[in-house]
Amino acid sequence: MNEIFDPLNLLLMGLAVFILFRLRSVLGKRTGNERPPFDPYSKPDQPRERKNGNDQDNVIPMPNQTTLEAEPVEESGRGGDVVIDKVAPAGSALNSALKQILSVDRSFEPEPFLEGARAAYEMIVMAFADGDKKALKNLLSREVYEGFVTAIDDREKRGETIESTFVGIDKAEIVEAALKNSTAQVTVKIHSQLISATRDKAGEVVDGDPAKVSEVIDIWTFARDTTSRDPNWKLVATESAE
């Protein structure tokens, strides 16, 4: 017991008490109002409801909202009109129809539309050859889909199969357009290259040539309801130019 009160121990204990006192005076006391430690992986705090009855105080500003509101809005879609003038001659019926579509659908752009039409053309042609009804359903209007399904079913009943290779698209151009009520319709003339052959049950070729690249010209019409949130266009009519 007497060792506890050894002069050296008393000196060390006194020194420890002094250091603790100094640390407390430097760091301060906890009052219960301190901010909790920051957790970088935690969700941000939800905005607190203001008690002054002003609903605007509860609105979280969208990113760059101030910047967007400050930017001047382009009048009459002048930029879009210029793009359309490059696709269809100014003053032509096609030019007027495309500008009509643009007036109700500000997202419409001829070049991206044609890129989408090219991709849809390849998907539809190959899905029809493979008899893939599921893939076709999302790309076609109900009437066109029913026509394609009937052709596929008839082919299967005869025991025929199609061997098809998509070589590529040489050219795709918008040839007609119209705005009917809220529905925009755009007709595209597509020049493509395909290798296609139809075989019967016995494997004999009854149509086409499995060794020949054929030039195909199709005229397809795509449509979209401009009031819908769905940005996709669907094939509503097909016609062969040959």
Please name each of the domains of the chain with its CATH number.
Answer: 76-240 (3.10.450.240)
Average pLDDT over residues 14-20: 56
According to the per-residue pLDDT averaged within each range, which of 7-21, 67-81, 210-224 is highest? 210-224
Greater confidence, 20 or 100? Answer: 100
Give percent of the chain above pLDDT 70: 67
Residue 242: the pLDDT is: 65
187 sits in the region (left: phi over 0; alpha: psi -120 to 50; else beta) called beta
Instruction: Give residue 105's identity as a one-letter amino acid code.
Output: D
What is the dihedral sign for C-alpha 105, 107, 109, 111? negative
Q: What is the pLDDT of residue 206?
A: 96
- For position 74, what pLDDT does the model report? 42
Write the pLDDT tens digit of every residue in 62-115.
233 333 333 333 444 556 778 899 889 999 999 999 999 999 998 899 999 999
Is pTM beyond 0.85? Reply is no
For residue 76, count other CB atoms closer than 10 A to its CB: 10
Residue 176's Cβ-count burial label (10 Å; 0-12, 13-18, 19+) is: middle
Residue 2's pLDDT is what? 53
Would you say residue 22 has pLDDT above 90?
A: no
Inter-residue contact 187 to 177 (CB < 8 Å): yes
Residues, the chain, total?
242
Do residues 120 and 233 lie in contact, with contact meaning Cβ atoms separated by under 8 Å? yes
Q: What is the pLDDT of residue 3?
A: 54
Determine phi and psi for 28, rounding to 5 degrees: 85, 170
Position 241 scores a pLDDT of: 78
Q: What is the pLDDT of residues 35-54, one digit of tens each?
A: 333 333 333 344 333 333 43
Mean pLDDT, all residues of the chain? 78
- Please give the Cα distance from 152 to 172 (Å, whole number): 26
Strand, coil or helix: 187:
strand
